[in-house]
Amino acid sequence: MISMRKIEALFSKDMKTIFQNVFILSGLLIMPVIAIMFTIGLEDEEAIIGLADFLIKMNILVNGANIICVMIAEEKEKHTLSVLVASTVSAADFLISKVLVTGILTFLSNVLLFFIMGLGAYLPIAPFLAMSAVAILPVTVVGAIIGILCKTQAAASTVVAPVMMLLVFLPMFLPQESFFVDKVFRYVFAEQMTYGLAAVYHGEPYLLSLGIIAINFVVLAVAFGLVYKKRGLAS
Which pLDDT value is given to residue 75? 78
Round to whole Å and give the CA distance between 118 and 49: 10
Mean pLDDT of the chain: 82
> Residue 211 — very low, low, confident or very high, per pLDDT cuts 50/70/90?
very high
Q: Are 128 and 119 spatial neighbours (Cβ–Cβ below 8 Å)?
A: yes
Q: What is the mean predicted confidence (pLDDT) over 45-58?
A: 85
> Residue 208 — very low, low, confident or very high, per pLDDT cuts 50/70/90?
very high
Query: Left if phi > 0, otherwise alpha if psi is -120 to 50, otherwise beta: which for 232?
Result: left
Residue 79 has pLDDT above 80, yes or no: no
Q: What distances in angstroms separate CA 103 from CA 72, 135, 191, 208, 223, one per listed residue? A: 15, 10, 19, 22, 19
Residue range 121-179, pLDDT digits in tens: 888 888 888 888 998 999 998 998 888 888 777 788 788 878 887 777 776 666 666 66
Residue 42, SS3 per DSSP: coil
**Residue 122: HSE in the Cβ half-sphere, 13 Å Cα cutoff:** 21
- Sequence spans of domains, the chain: 4-231
Q: What is the mean predicted confidence (pLDDT) over 10-36?
A: 84
Round to whole Å and give the CA distance between 55 and 61: 10
Which pLDDT value is given to residue 216? 92
pTM: 0.83
Residue 233, SS3 per DSSP: coil
5 vs 133, which has greater pLDDT? Answer: 133
